[in-house]
């Protein structure tokens, strides 16, 4: 039991009170950065492999243009 307390005392304070220093804050689900570099909500569709689509969601939708969001108007 004493060893556990010593291990806890050795942890940086940041780990005990919240986000560790130097690490980015967690991103809410659906707001990860898309592969094209744009920030904002990502398409919520899933690939056959079970991964989230990497495209940016169309504004006002949870999906990209390919997965049922509003079509792009050129």
Domain ranges within the chain, ordered by starting residue: 29-74
What is the pTM assigned to this prediction? Answer: 0.43
| pLDDT of 50 over the 90 cut | yes
Note the pLDDT of residue 40: 77
pLDDT, average across residues 30-48: 72
Torsion angle (degrees, nearest 10) of CA 70, 71, 72, 74 = -130
In which band, very low, low, confident or very high, does the pLDDT at 32 lie, cut at 50, 70 and 90?
Answer: low
Torsion angle (degrees, nearest 10) of CA 29, 33, 39, 41 = -30
């Amino acid at each position: 039991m004493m060893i556990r307390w010593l291990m806890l005392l050795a942890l940086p304070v940041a780990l005990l009170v919240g986000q560790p220093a130097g690490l980015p804050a967690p991103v809410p689900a659906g707001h990860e950065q898309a592969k094209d570099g744009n920030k904002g909500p990502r398409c919520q569709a899933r690939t056959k492999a079970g991964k989230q689509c990497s495209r940016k969601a169309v504004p006002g939708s949870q999906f990209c243009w390919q997965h049922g969001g509003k079509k792009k108007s050129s």
